[in-house]
């Protein structure tokens, strides 16, 4: 009888272990190497932008026709080939915006913010594809953590392209906003003047925990722990260290926080601890009725004016 109980318990433990391991692999793949990644569909991304933001069409067509919207590639220290697009302002300027896209997006899908800066504010614009998105390589989406190092490199390249004496803002949406905040906690070059983050998450742990509960009805334990360990083994980082919250605590440059009050993907509550953690100077705009990453779509004129007023205090 005791032997049967012993073997029964061993069997149950084996089943539980197998289930957890399988679940961890599934969650990591689902999150970081999703089968459906719209950011890799370049023609579809242009169609989406023309359909969703039709007012940028003539501007974008003009850039493409004249050859002003250009591509560049680099190899990062890990040997990944990365891609970005860029365009100079219509009138020569040192004002430059580095614009960072969200989860399963790409540089093309941030061209509405490119329009804001390039057409509306006469800025040079530089838009990188983060790892495993757009035309950039990489084994998986990095949720901003490893991307922060790539973006820091891109910022130096953007400064070089636009004259080696720029005044720069970094502006990100969603995962790009988290990336922007992760960038902000690193030592900055003198040409970096301010940051704009729009609906970024407090940390990868917090965002994945929220999605795990919201989509699958599961608690953090044990999958968040085991999947985090697996992520560290495969990609060299874990969910807890990938923290926008900890990074903004180290940021001394100005930051504008934007978040829709109807955001249920990166829930609105996340912006408040981020804003509180950031030292002055800082500003916060809670956008009424805006769902995730839709603040500019819903309020293009007010969004533009708020960004104009904010960056205008630090970039002259």
Instruction: Report whether 238 contacts 231 (CB < 8 A).
Output: yes
Strand pairing partners for 286?
259
Cis preceding-peptide flag for 240 (omega within 30 of 0): no
Question: Strand, coil or helix: what is 223?
Answer: helix
Instruction: Report whether 301 contacts 287 (CB < 8 A).
Output: no
How many CB atoms are closer than 10 A to CB 212?
A: 18
Q: Does domain 56-203+242-312 have CATH number 3.40.50.1820?
A: yes
**pLDDT for the residue 12:** 41
Backbone angles phi, psi at 236, to 5 degrees: 85, 20
**pLDDT for the residue 16:** 47
Domain extent listing, the chain = 56-203+242-312
**pLDDT for the residue 22:** 85
Residue 312 pLDDT exceeds 80: yes
CA angle 23, 25, 26 (to 5 degrees): 60
Query: Of 41, 266, 62, nearest to 133 (Cα)?
Result: 41
Cis preceding-peptide flag for 177 (omega within 30 of 0): no
pLDDT digits (tens, 9 = 90+) for 65-81: 999 999 999 999 999 99
pLDDT digits (tens, 9 = 90+) for 204-231: 999 999 999 999 999 999 999 999 999 9
Written as six digits, the tokens of 65 are 């026709």
Instruction: Report whether 287 contacts 298 (CB < 8 A).
Output: yes
What pTM was estimated for this model as a whole? 0.96
**pLDDT for the residue 23:** 86
**pLDDT for the residue 8:** 52
């Amino acid at each position: 009888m005791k032997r049967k109980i012993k073997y029964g318990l061993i069997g149950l433990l084996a089943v539980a272990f197998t289930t957890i391991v399988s679940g961890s692999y599934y969650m990591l793949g689902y999150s970081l190497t999703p089968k459906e990644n719209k950011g890799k569909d370049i023609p579809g991304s242009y169609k989406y932008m023309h359909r969703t933001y039709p007012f940028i069409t003539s501007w974008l067509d003009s850039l493409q026709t004249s050859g002003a919207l250009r591509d560049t590639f680099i190899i990062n220290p890990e040997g990944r080939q990365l891609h970005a697009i860029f365009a100079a302002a219509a009138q020569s300027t040192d004002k430059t915006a580095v614009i960072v896209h969200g989860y399963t997006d790409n540089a093309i899908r941030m061209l509405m913010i490119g329009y804001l800066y390039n057409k509306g504010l006469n800025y040079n614009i530089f838009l990188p594809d983060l790892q495993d998105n757009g035309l950039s390589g990489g084994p998986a989406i990095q949720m901003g953590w490893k991307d922060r190092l790539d973006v820091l490199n891109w910022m130096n390249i953007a400064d070089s392209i636009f004259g080696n004496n720029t005044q720069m803002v970094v502006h990100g949406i969603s995962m790009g906003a988290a990336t922007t905040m992760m960038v902000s906690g690193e030592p900055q070059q003198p040409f970096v003047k301010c940051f704009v983050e729009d609906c970024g998450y407090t940390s990868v742990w917090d965002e994945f925990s929220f999605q795990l509960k919201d989509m699958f009805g599961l608690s953090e334990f044990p999958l968040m722990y085991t999947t985090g360990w697996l992520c560290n083994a495969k990609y060299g980082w874990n969910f807890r260290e990938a923290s926008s919250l900890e990074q903004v605590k180290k940021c001394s440059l100005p930051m504008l926080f934007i978040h829709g009050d109807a955001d249920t993907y990166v829930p609105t509550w996340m912006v408040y601890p981020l804003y509180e953690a950031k030292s002055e100077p800082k500003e916060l705009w809670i956008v009424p009725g805006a769902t995730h990453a839709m603040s500019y779509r819903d309020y293009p004129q007010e969004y533009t004016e708020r960004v104009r007023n904010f960056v205008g205090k630090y970039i002259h």
